Amino acid sequence: MPDVRVTIDGKEVSVPAQSTVLEAAEAAGVEIPVLCHHPVLKPIGACRMCLVEVEKQRTLQPACTFPVTDGMVVHTASPAVMDARRFVLQLLFSERNHFCMFCQQSGSCELQSLAYQYGLDHWEYDRAFPEMPVDASRKYFAMDHNRCILCRRCIRVCDEMVGNHTLGLKNRGAETMVIADMDVPFGESSCVSCGSCLQVCPTGALMDRASAYLGADEEVTRVKSRCMACSVGCGVELVLREGRVIRIEGDWDAEPNHGLLCEIGRFMPLHETRQRARKPMVRD
């Protein structure tokens, strides 16, 4: 199909006909905030942070799912759009217990970054303060439902990329929660400990036990490498602080794994207690 011309914030760009507004904005160099969207996952338009104003449309539209048409004119930072995004953020912060000063993800949290970006310096609505559980039954990570924003990234990566289908949702409305299998503890579920859900989580809801509180984004460096655990040679990103590896993540751009790692590649190097042999292992 031929390309279409789209104007975003005064910038005209040519994109494939089946592109979304978000993809067109990326091509034009215009940043649109997202929370539920992730480049490796299918868009679902759940969080509504990417709302934009499309001329001749009656309401604001989610950029991650709304398709472009030839001659479309989009405004990503109009007063109506900015107010809508602040409204979404205020609702997200009021629904659960988000206390950034105590969270291990502070400084690396996408929700926190957007709160700073949109000037949230007070609560517009009363806080719900629900009593939410913390599932710490898994060896390598814990699930804190107080910090979950129900973006469904963890569920989608488990379904779409890993193919394990461990995670899902229960209940509706304010009582909605992410669950494992038929609402069993993570430690008793069919989870294979690949850690993909951990890597895509935009908040501190999924906590890596090994790297918690060891460094925010501005305090660490990232080095791309290869996993040596087997012959596949998956691409990894080593997260280092002061020369020490504190976390291992999958490299989304690397082949053959495209970001996926197994339990051994992601967690074992940091949890291995055996020491390297320092002398010949000669039997008596």
Cα–Cα distance, 11 to 7 (Å, whole number): 5
DSSP code of 138?
S
Over 80: is that where the pLDDT of 284 sits?
A: no
What digits encode the pLDDT tens for the residues 149-175? Answer: 999 999 999 999 999 999 999 999 989
Cα–Cα distance, 11 to 30 (Å, whole number): 9
Q: Which two tokens stand for residue 186?
A: 């993570």
- Burial label, 247 (beta-carbon count in 10 A; 0-12, 13-18, 19+): buried
Which H helix or E strand runs over 264? helix 263-266
The full DSSP string for 63-84 is TTTPBP-TTEEEESS-HHHHHH
Give whole-number Cα distances, 177 to 88, 103, 134, 151, in Å: 19, 19, 12, 11
Q: Phi, psi (5° rounding) for residue 223? A: -125, 125
The b-or-e profile of 186-212 (16+ CB within 10 A means b, else e) is beebebebbbbbbbbbbbbbbbbebbe
* Residue 136 CB neighbour total at 10 angstroms: 15
At residue 233 the predicted structure's pLDDT band, cuts being 50, 70 and 90, is very high
Over 90: is that where the pLDDT of 146 sits?
A: yes
Place of tokens 């690949």: 194
Return the pLDDT at 95: 92
At residue 251 the predicted structure's pLDDT band, cuts being 50, 70 and 90, is very high
Q: Hey, which residues does 245 pair with through a beta bridge?
A: 240
The predicted model gives 172-179 an average pLDDT of 94
Cα–Cα distance, 12 to 73 (Å, whole number): 9
What digits encode the pLDDT tens for the residues 66-121? Answer: 999 999 999 999 999 999 999 999 999 999 999 999 999 999 999 999 999 999 98
Contact 130, 97 (CB under 8 A): yes
Cα–Cα distance, 75 to 9 (Å, whole number): 5
Q: Which two tokens stand for residue 244?
A: 């020490």
pTM of the model: 0.91
Q: Which two tokens stand for residue 129?
A: 């303060």
At residue 148 the predicted structure's pLDDT band, cuts being 50, 70 and 90, is very high
Share of the chain above pLDDT 70, in %: 100
Identify the structural domains of the chain with CATH numbers, from first to last: 3-77 (3.10.20.740), 96-209 (3.30.70.20), 215-273 (3.30.200.210)
Return the pLDDT at 278: 86
The predicted model gives 40-59 an average pLDDT of 97
Cα–Cα distance, 47 to 61 (Å, whole number): 12
At residue 123 the predicted structure's pLDDT band, cuts being 50, 70 and 90, is confident
At residue 273 the predicted structure's pLDDT band, cuts being 50, 70 and 90, is confident
Place of tokens 């517009």: 124
Which residue type, as a one-letter code, is found at position 75? Answer: H
Return the pLDDT at 187: 95
Cα–Cα distance, 143 to 135 (Å, whole number): 5
Cα–Cα distance, 147 to 178 (Å, whole number): 12
